[in-house]
Amino acid sequence: MLKFFKHSYLSQHIVIVVMAIILWLPTFITKSAFFIGDDITPLYNIFISIFDFSPFLINLISFAVFVVSLFLFNSVLSANRLVNKYSTVGALTFLLMMCSTPNLHICYPFILACPFILMAMHTLFLIYQTENPENYMMNIGYFVAIASLFYYPSVFLMLWVLLSFVILGFKGLRQLLIPVVAFMIVNAMVIGIAFLVGKYNNLIEAYSTFFDNISFSFNLTSGNRIFLLTTTILFLISLVKVIGNRSSDYGSNYRKRVGVGFVLMILSVLIFFIYQPLMGNALVFMMFAFFYAIALSDIKKITIANVITILMFILVLVNQYLPLFGITI
């Protein structure tokens, strides 16, 4: 199985899409409702208001965005040599991790923000390879700002951006301020528009409520706890392998990119525990996929990797279809 996904031909892409359809099918069968946004997710709210006449269409668009994110995730890893250049292992791990629970198969804010977060990540990996990185730095701020308009916890990703700049060697105050200014420009425009349409007070109140309600919690079902434990074990094994492998072959560039990913992993864990409901948990699963893909791309014991991956797919499949029979874990 894994050997098949270490290539990137049309057949691999078709299989990935078919697997995605199989795992998302219960969403269309049950006609799952969308997540109700609030005043700090304006772009998400606009999207829902446009298509709220058809939950099916909302789920269909969400699925399309998911597939785009899936292949974008794979491209980010392969283009930056974190996995083999011609590989779909990243797409496979993203699929398994991001489909780990039925709660992630509705139109929730993160799924619409995900492409912008991935574009911010890819741009971060590019900036230290260019002679004039300022435009890239501005774009990173724009991407994070747009992501936050769909999924507000993305505001915390500005901390990830600044720490990543330090890891990548950009420590000057001017360089650190560039993405911050870009982020503030977008948010200033949002506040200005909210003022013009009479939503300013609602927006400020929503901001205040969000930060006032931040608290540490672990309110998950037993099934989600099992998946969290499973993916955490896979992540730790993957992290050990990633740290102990390839760094000597790829040098500082590889280590810097892994460091950027590790900072986002830590931040995603914090978001996981302070932002409920489950819509705040998807980022951590994406970062599990990040390290799992890197580890799988270099693994020598293919049989063990195949068994783990197949069992993971079966576990995800069962967890997706059990609710159709009234069984929840």
Question: How many Å apart are CA 48 and CA 98, to the nearest integer?
Answer: 21
Give the model confidence (pLDDT) of 155-203 as tens digits.
Answer: 999 999 999 999 888 878 888 999 999 999 999 998 898 888 888 888 8
Question: How many Å apart are CA 165 and CA 168, to the nearest integer?
Answer: 5
For the chain, give the mean pLDDT: 82
Whether residue 298 is predicted with pLDDT greater than 90 in this model: the reply is no
Section 260-270 average pLDDT: 87
Give the model confidence (pLDDT) of 70-87 as tens digits.
Answer: 999 999 999 888 888 788
Using an 8 Å Cβ cutoff, are 59 and 193 in contact? no
Section 211-216 average pLDDT: 70
Closest Cα partner for 110 from 319, 271, 235, 293?
271
Q: Percent of the chain scored above 90 by pLDDT? A: 25
Would you give the distance in Å from CA 112 to the centre of its chain? 10
Give the model confidence (pLDDT) of 221-233 as tens digits.
Answer: 555 566 566 667 7
Using an 8 Å Cβ cutoff, are 316 and 93 in contact? no
Whether residue 259 is predicted with pLDDT greater than 50 in this model: the reply is yes
Burial class (CB in 10 A: 0-12, 13-18, 19+), 198: exposed
Amino acid 258: pLDDT: 86
Whether residue 280 is predicted with pLDDT greater than 60 in this model: the reply is no
Q: Give 300 or 123, the one with higher predicted confidence.
A: 123
3-state secondary structure of 282: helix
Question: How many Å apart are CA 19 and CA 5, to the nearest integer?
Answer: 13
Q: Which of 10-19, 144-153, 189-198, 249-258 has the lowest mean pLDDT?
A: 249-258
Amino acid 138: pLDDT: 93
